[in-house]
Structure 1
């Protein structure tokens, strides 16, 4: 599913720490544009805190509406008391490309399932309140092949839709690959279709994995 709406992403990492019944909870948030980067961040935190009893986490690795790029772990805490509350806070924030890791150094006092849910979810909520964000504008890529006689029309489209040329080849016909804001793609394709000329071909490129 193509993403057509801009969304917020973290602009800087955040660390929030608190003590609850002698247990020390450290919540870390980071910008992670992919599942691989989310997992790498989680591993870095584990490596940095090898003595911690638990490294619980959740991530939204893509746009906030993309349910295919989610993940969470209780890392040994009772099922449903850590990973799910962490992920719920991230999803509720409507921020994309974000990972939260909550480290727990146990103080020996049991918190109970309700206390754990509150501690893990609450830590992420507090960290999110400190987070600064920026807007990710969704981008798509379009291939345009055209006769040189249509260069003026292509220049007009470039200005109108603020196209950014990423590559070009010039043989019998000109071929360019451009990036454009996703919300503009439908309009661009419709405008290009008005050129009833077989010497202008415009097609949407599939995103690279």
Structure 2
């Protein structure tokens, strides 16, 4: 289980320090291609900016998260790394931050740059809406059309997560439950249907 930004939303914050403008954008990314496309998009959107610094972290199934950062011409370690440190501290994954800097004519020094990029990302993070992504077990169960509506209401009333409904000879529901919860789900179904219905496991999936 982990948290990540909501999908398809770009979060923005602008910070001005000694006449330099720091425009920070945060968006969900799920892989290297997403992250690179986000960075390229902002370089295209702000081609006249001096720097387009970036940092991102994304989840990898069965492995440690991937982390990358870029100073994009700022002195080494003064932009990308501080940005990445702030993202790490947020606890969010599948997240990318790009800070576009317009130089204001006053040099900030290494320490000033570190604080500027850190503060800009921190301020933008306060605007981010996040969702929780959890791995759940999936099960399918089928009911006759005449009974489906009643059983669906019973399941929803008991807080069962119905992920999908399909209609054929019977009505088939895909149900999500916490890892290790399939036995409890079948106990519930047995009690509701006098043991006439059993859910079949169909693996696991990530659910928001």
Whether TM-score is above 0.5 comes out as yes
2:43 is aligned with 1:46? yes
Q: CA deviation at 1:98?
A: 3.3
Structure 2 contact 139–199 (Cα < 8 Å) conserved? no
Query: 1:1-209 maps to which residues of 2 (within 5 A)?
Result: 3=1, 7=3, 9=5, 13-20=11-18, 22=19, 24-35=20-31, 36-61=33-58, 67-107=64-104, 109-129=106-126, 131-136=127-132, 138=134, 140=136, 142-145=138-141, 155=152, 156-157=154-155, 159-168=157-166, 170=168, 175-178=172-175, 180=176, 184-186=177-179, 188-192=181-185, 194=187, 200-206=199-205
Query: What displacement does 1:94 show?
Result: 2.8
Question: Structure 2 CA distance, aligned partners of 1:147 and 1:135?
Answer: 32
Q: Normalized against structure 2, the TM-score is what?
A: 0.68
1:56 CA drift (Å) = 0.3
2: CA distance between counterparts of 1:115 and 1:199? 63
Equivalent-residue separation in structure 1 for 2:10 and 2:104 (angstroms): 30
Aligned length: 192
Change (3 A) 1:88 1:168: same
Counterparts of 2:116 and 2:51, CA distance in 1:
13
Give the secondary-structure state (helix, strand or coil) at the position aligned to 1:138.
Answer: strand
Q: CA 1:108/1:15 → structure 2, altered by over 3 Å: closer, same or farther?
A: same
SS at match of 2:75: coil
1:83-104 Cα shifts (integer Å, max 9, x gaps): 1100111221234443221122
Structure 2 runs not aligned, ≥5 long:
none
Distance 2:133 2:205 in 1: 17
Q: CA deviation at 1:47?
A: 0.5
CA distance in 1, matches of 2:13, 2:25: 7
Q: Distance in 1 between matches of 2:40 and 2:22?
A: 15
- TM-score (structure 1 length as normaliser): 0.68
CA RMSD of aligned residues (A): 3.8
Q: Which blocks of at least 5 consecutive residues in structure 1 are unaligned?
A: none
1:53 is displaced (CA, Å) by 2.1
In the alignment, the residues of structure 1 paired with residue 104 and residue 94 of structure 2 have an alpha-carbon distance, to the nearest angstrom, of: 32
Question: How big is the shift at 1:28?
Answer: 1.9
Deviation for aligned residue 1:205:
3.1
